[in-house]
A and B are shown apart, each in its own frame.
Chain A
Amino acid sequence: MVIRVDAREKVTGEARYADDLKFDRMIYAVPLYSAHPSALILSIDTKPAKDMEGVVDVITADDIPGKKRVGTVIHDHDVMAGDRVRYMGDVVAMVAAETQEIAREAAKRIFVQYEPLKPVLTPADALAKNAACVHSGCHDNIASSYKVRHGDVKKGFAKSVNIIEREFGTTFVEHAYMEPESCTAIRNPDGSVTVYGGMQHPFTTRKFVAWASGLPLNRVQIIQSTLGGGFGGKDDTISMICARAALLALRTGRPVKITYTREESVRESYKRHPFHFKYKVGVDKKGKFQAMRIDMTADSGAYCATSPFVIWRPTVQCTGPYIVPNVRCDTRAVYTNNTFTGAMRGFGSPQVNFAIESMIDVVAHEIGADPVALRKKNFFTQGCTTHTGQKFNQHKVSINEVVDRTLDAFGWKKKYRLCSKGNMNEDGIYYGVGMACSYRGVSLGAEGNDFCAAIVNIQPDGSMILEVGVAENGQGLKTAMTHILATEFGVDHSRIRFMDTDTSSITDSCPTVASRGTLVGGNAVLDAVKKIKDQMKPVLKELIGVSKKGYHFKNGYIINAGEPRKKIRFEDAVAACHNKKMYLYALGVFQGPPVHWKEETGQGDAYFTYVYGCQAAELTVDAKTGKVSVKKVVAAHEVGKAINPQMAVGQIIGGVAMGLGFALKEQIIHKDGVIQNMNFDKYRIPTATEVPEIEAILVENPDPAGPWGAKALGEPTNELMGAAVANAIYNATGIRFTEVPITPEKIRNALIVI
């Protein structure tokens, strides 16, 4: 069994999260937020705050020496709002003081004069003719758009005997990482700045800090603290917070800490995009899909952030794992004055899979087919061509395998027959089961520049320092990388020290997103191992000879594979190399295999490999209260190869639990642009009594692109519960819910209508 390398420090409370750091002469900074979802800023008077005893500095947009507007894709996001605010989470000023209490009191004394504007509150309003533009200088509110043109949908619908149309919707979801944002910035004697913080991707943060401060990248050092959860949510916002901390540290010369309250975190940080879907599906007389016409609109909120990535993935995956010869898909992300939206575990896939996998069950019902049989008839096959024109012949197409494994373990056939189908029992309880399945592109795909580095630095005593350009986000990356390195050299994990990501040491390896950590990081480690082993060869030849079979690295020894009695202790071989003036140090590099995408047609090899998953849920619905009790979930995920099976299982269980929140209860509620539920009293996430026992099944088909064959897992686990639960509620109550979350209130109301 592989034990987490950071488990002990976490279970003893010794692990150092961002807010646990304290520095001599440290001061504390707090934000002053916008008072309106949309307004012009006429004036800001910071003097009353500056005059307060204990206040060290107050800054506004005028004090930003570098770029005032930054962003992951488009630079449309003000580091601090200067002339206009676009959502309630815009920061108008920052106050730094000797204590957080003083800073908060001083922030209240800043006087901002606004001219409120009529906010744009829904994508429909944003897309209306003559709608006000959220961003001046734009001619509409479209932040990003994509399309797919494949075959001829007119002909496809002409060949269909059944054409079914439905609309689906999802809402704003909060990441609800348990650790609110925190960072500390320190000005170094040479004028550079170091920021410690809880961010998922230190290299995004480095860019934001460099842009805002005007410093070159080499003078901005970001060191990741232990991260208290991210789920996609600790990228843009924390990077913005770090930039503000850095500006204050550079100005004051004192360490500046910013730690958010839960309310500040929820107010400012981006959410999962709400989507609105229109699906039109044509099925021929054999039950084969002939055409799909799909339209998706996502609420980007005030800023673009990562919207292009979040709408591109569901565009690529819009058909689900089904062969559809004729597809037309149009997708857009739209600016509004709501809280901005961005990456959240799945990048649009929990939303699109809720729509498509609900739609498949709708279609099955409409044409009188069994939902599983309809799926199987249309599944991707080995060597098939998808609607983006990609031929699936580079990886194992395992959709049938994951579905069969899930449904067998679940006892689907028997349970499906027992569903209430609208007839409650004597106690007023409905019973239902539902399933959903998906395919998912691994890593960044054609919209990103996919590469990663690792440094393996073997010390003269045979101990090793390991650095990888992707980051530990709680998912267990340190452990997976350590395990790969230790196994490749045949040594114990204890010999390896994994360094927290430091942007001044390891190279920019693109974000730790898209469930790419294991694949890209692992490959980079393997490359470094290979380089070091190659370097050691001449010395090993002298020490233990050479054979065609090469060397085994096992149990702390290096063994001549042709003559196994010739062996040497690993550290002795290392010492011998050291004596020959060799550095057993290597930069391992992974460069993603080629991928491509034609914007005009939405055709191309979008991702270099794919994973498959299936989840099934068993539940009851109380007719009186509308309460859904989930009794059991089975989830099978094809992962290529599980580097650490125990943590892989943990990813599945955690992803399903979060998916249940998405399906049944979680929604950030905006009223006139103002979030109504900013803490856990009103934003409820699943608890230990609401999450059922979950059976996790790891399906392994080692992939040529992955380290030891490993692919991806974090996000696929979180993208299926929406539809599985909606389908189960339908099979229980006979009511099709087309919007998540499916709350008790919605269920009660729907049951009353019946």
Chain B
Amino acid sequence: MKEIFKLNINGKSYVVNADPERTLLDVLREDLRLTGTKRGCDIGLCGTCTVLIDGKPKRSCIVKVSSLSESRIETIEGLSRDGKLHPIQQAFIDCGAIQCGFCTPGMVLTAKAFLDKNPTPSREEIRKALAANLCRCTGYQQIVDAIELAAKRISGAKI
């Protein structure tokens, strides 16, 4: 049976009519056409569908739409503001951290949640934060470079 759910995504309010068991990923991609969030495994392991729920990285492929009524959801579409990239996005470009790009939205959002918590991380801490996001192209190193650079730029901007 379908029900009405109100979702707060990227600061905007959305109303969806969906089965309570429907995953957030299906709602984002199929119902709302927010296709920046990717589908890679449907079992919560590859990290391509990562979104932020109340600031924490979550696998949208295993989150049910019915669990989100009070939550603040952030997807890759909400990260840049007025055409200006988030420093993490800019650093991914500058460091060559993108190849096929399919893991990129999930990586960027995981990095954002991580840097919000730990603004001056070591490379090892960055690697640990990324351990559940798979990338088959880059070997991760330039992604680690990017997050390190973004951390410097963000903390520099705050000073």
Contact = CB atoms under 8 A, between A and B. Distances in A.
B5 interface: no
A650 B104 CA distance: 15
A691 B141 contact: yes
Contacts of B115: none
A177 B103 CA distance: 10
A646 B135 contact: no
B79 interface: yes
Interface residues of A, number: 56
Interface string B39-66: 1111101101000000000000000000
A487 B72 CA distance: 46
A642 to B, nearest CB: 12
Interface string A462-483: 0000000000011110000000
A681 B45 contact: yes
B108 interface: yes
Contacts of B77: 12-13
Contact of A4 (B42, B98, B133): B98
A179 B139 contact: no
B40 A227 contact: no
A231 interface: yes
A22 B32 CA distance: 12
A16 B36 CA distance: 8
Interface of B: 29, 33, 35-43, 45-46, 48, 75-77, 79-80, 85, 89, 92-96, 98-105, 108, 123, 126-128, 130-144
Q: Which 4 residue pairs of A and B lie closest in terms of their CB atoms, listed nearest first?
A: A13-B36, A474-B100, A10-B101, A657-B139
A679 interface: yes
Contacts of B80: 12
Interface stretch (A441-449, A531-539, A682-690): A682-690
A686 B136 CA distance: 8
A228 interface: yes
Given A11-B89, A177-B136, A227 B36 contact: no
5 contacts: A13-B77, A17-B102, A178-B136, A681-B43, A688-B130
Contact of B139 (A15, A177, A231, A656): A656
A473 B102 CA distance: 11
B101 A228 contact: yes
Contact of B46 (A8, A473, A654, A680): A680
B101 A474 contact: yes
A617 to B, nearest CB: 13
Contact of B101 (A15, A176, A655): A15
Contacts of B142: 646, 649-650, 653
Nearest to B127: A688
A11 B85 contact: yes
B41 A679 contact: yes
A510 interface: no
Contact of B93 (A8, A15, A259, A679): A8
Contacts, number: 169
A258 B40 CA distance: 15
A17 B45 contact: no
Contacts of A473: 100
Interface string A1-40: 0011011101111111101101000000000000000000
B89 A653 contact: no
B116 to A, nearest CB: 18
A693 interface: yes
A688 B140 contact: yes
Nearest to A177: B136
> Main secondary structure on chain A at its contact with chain B?
loop
Nearest to B78: A13
Contacts of A524: none
B122 to A, nearest CB: 12
Given A17-B102, A680-B43, A687-B134, A3 B93 contact: yes
Contact of A685 (B48, B94, B134, B144): B134
Contacts of A22: 33
Nearest to A652: B139
Contacts of B95: 646
Given A11-B85, A13-B36, A679-B43, A688 B143 contact: yes
Contacts of A655: 139
Given A11-B108, A13-B35, 16 more contacts: A11-B101, A13-B105, A17-B38, A175-B136, A178-B100, A179-B102, A180-B39, A230-B100, A262-B46, A650-B96, A650-B142, A653-B139, A655-B139, A688-B133, A689-B128, A691-B140
Contacts of B40: 178-180, 262, 680
A230 B102 CA distance: 11
> Main secondary structure on chain B at its contact with chain A?
loop
A259 B35 CA distance: 14
A10 B104 contact: yes
Contacts of A650: 96, 99, 137-139, 142
Among A647, A685, A688, A689, which residue has the most Cβ atoms of chain B within 10 A? A688
A476 B75 contact: no
Interface in A547-574: none
Contacts of A740: none
Given A688-B130, A688-B140, A688-B143, A474 B89 contact: no
Contacts of A393: none
Given A680-B45, A680-B46, A688-B133, A179 B100 contact: yes
B101 A231 contact: no
Given A687-B134, A688-B127, A688-B131, A653 B101 contact: no
Given A687-B134, A688-B131, A691-B140, A229 B102 contact: yes
A10 B144 contact: no
Nearest to B139: A657
Nearest to B40: A178
B130 to A, nearest CB: 4
A689 B131 contact: yes
Interface string A656-695: 1110000000000000000000011100011111010110
Contacts of A144: none
A261 interface: yes
A178 B38 contact: yes
Among B37, B92, B108, B134, which residue has the most Cβ atoms of chain A within 10 A? B134
Contacts of B127: 688-689
Interface string A160-202: 0000000000000001111110000000000000000000000
Nearest to B45: A680
A176 B45 contact: no
Interface in A281-296: none
B98 A10 contact: yes
A231 B144 contact: no
Nearest to A651: B99
A484 B43 CA distance: 42
A96 B134 CA distance: 32
Contacts of B42: 261-262
A226 interface: yes
A653 B104 contact: no
A166 B105 CA distance: 47
Among B33, B35, B128, which residue has the most Cβ atoms of chain A within 10 A? B35
A12 B43 contact: no
A262 B41 contact: yes
Contacts of A685: 134, 136
A482 to B, nearest CB: 15
B139 A691 contact: yes
A10 B99 CA distance: 9
Contacts of B93: 3-4, 7-8, 11
A19 B104 CA distance: 16
A681 B43 CA distance: 8
A718 B150 CA distance: 29
A654 B85 contact: no
Given A6-B101, A685-B134, A647 B96 contact: yes
A474 to B, nearest CB: 3
A176 B33 contact: no
